[in-house]
Amino acid sequence: MFCGEYVQGTIFPAPNFNPIMDAQMLGGALQGFDCDKDMLINILTQRCNAQRLMIAEAYKSMYGRDLIGDLKEQLSNHFKDVMVGLMYPPPSYDAHELWHAMKGVGTDENCLIEILASRTNGEIFQMREAYCLQYSNNLQEDIYSETSGHFRDTLMNLVQGTREEGYTDPAMAAQDAMVLWEACQQKTGEHKTMLQMILCNKSYQQLWLVFQEFQNISGQDMVDAINECYDGYFQELLVAIVLCVRDKPAYFAYRLYCAIHDFGFHNKTVIRILIARSEIDLLTIRKRYKERYGKSLFHDIKNFASGHYKKALLAICAGDAEDY
């Protein structure tokens, strides 16, 4: 991140909020043969997460039913995923995404990488708790059984949520940079372990210094060096950590661009990033997207998605006039 830059989301608490009125409107929208999808979008994308939880409580006491359950029953496909996703508190949403990334046949490694490389210690701690509550499973154990090798070791390190915070030691930075440089030359198991220990445990501020020192020692950018020396999901995870350290909104802009353009609109990734970052830094992500890729995120979603699904994504994205 640029020093002192203020990051911002796109969704804020609605003024004059009335959860009982909202619950009544939702009840009306979800009744009957034809569900009023526009009403769902207008309410759920224009309230912050804490307000949505209050609406769900009011809905429950009013109708004796679970709002998430009713949304799941009445809606379908990607539109359902967006509306239901908005109803989870952030740690529960992360837990939900990780669970679905690991259960069933095959593992969605990219989802594991994106979530675990980008979350703070506090977010990881809450996510582990939510995972245990929702699925009666231990997140660490599930990651351990679904992954392997140095990729697994690195994820297991990240999921501890024990990264140093705010701490810098300039003298140590040169030493760490040497270790990283050696790890890119030698590539032994021991070097891979040292590499991931530094990237998973040092503070973001310290790693800034380490990456500068690395450039001085090797004449090479950290990401380029990792890409040259390693491959597979281990390499992708290390690169994700470096990109998040440097500029987290730019990392998410890159993930969105790839999801939209390289994978023929990878819906799960687009939905997950828009919902998870909507109250943290989505406005900043939009800014980075426009700077890096020329077109706005709003424009690209508009081109690739359709129907109420598109409307819901654009409402979360909350485009400015110049984005249309």
Q: Are 268 and 313 in contact (CB under 8 A)?
A: no
Rounded Cα distance, 279 and 283, in Å? 9
pLDDT at 319: 67
In a domain, residue 20? The reply is: no
pLDDT at 1: 47
Rounded Cα distance, 166 and 206, in Å? 8
Q: Which residue has the tokens 């070097």?
A: 191
Q: What is the pLDDT along the chain (324 residues), one digit of tens a residue?
A: 444 567 799 999 999 999 999 999 999 999 877 789 999 999 999 999 999 999 999 999 999 999 999 999 999 999 999 999 999 999 999 999 999 999 977 899 999 999 999 999 999 999 999 999 999 999 999 999 999 999 999 999 999 999 999 888 999 999 999 999 999 888 788 889 999 999 999 999 999 999 999 999 999 999 999 999 999 999 999 999 999 999 999 999 999 999 999 867 789 999 999 999 999 999 999 999 999 999 999 999 999 899 999 999 999 998 654 554
pLDDT at 243: 97
Say yes or no: 154 and 191 in one domain. no
Q: Are 170 and 136 in contact (CB under 8 A)?
A: no
Task: Give the pair of three-digit tokens for residue 198.
Answer: 């530094």
- The string of DSSP codes covering 167-215 is ---HHHHHHHHHHHHHHHHH--HHHHHHHHHHHHHS-HHHHHHHHHHHH
Rounded Cα distance, 150 and 166, in Å? 27
- Full domain range(s) for residue 201: 170-246
Question: Residue 296: which residues within 8 A CB-CB, separation 6 or more?
Answer: 286, 289, 290, 319, 322, 323
Say yes or no: 113 and 152 in one domain. yes
Chosen domain end from 160, 182, 200 = 160
In a domain, residue 135? The reply is: yes
Query: Residue 193, class by beta-carbon neighbours within 10 Å (0-12 exposed, 13-18 middle, 19+ buried)?
Result: middle
pLDDT at 7: 76
What radius of gyration, in Å, describes the C-alpha atoms of the chain?
21
In a domain, residue 284? The reply is: no
Say yes or no: 232 and 193 in one domain. yes
Say yes or no: 101 and 142 in one domain. yes
Query: Residue 104, class by beta-carbon neighbours within 10 Å (0-12 exposed, 13-18 middle, 19+ buried)?
Result: exposed
In a domain, residue 239? The reply is: yes
Say yes or no: 176 and 232 in one domain. yes
Q: Which residue has the tokens 């939209």?
A: 260
pLDDT at 104: 75
Rounded Cα distance, 106 and 219, in Å? 39
Rounded Cα distance, 117 and 123, in Å? 11
Split into its structural domains, the chain has a count of 2
Rounded Cα distance, 72 and 80, in Å? 6
The number of beta carbons lying within 10 Å of the beta carbon of residue 254 is 18
DSSP state of 281: T
pLDDT at 189: 87
Chosen domain end from 160, 179, 214 = 160
Task: Give the pair of three-digit tokens for residue 80.
Answer: 């359902």
CATH number of the domain that residue 109 is part of: 1.10.220.10
Look up residue 91 and give its amino acid.
P
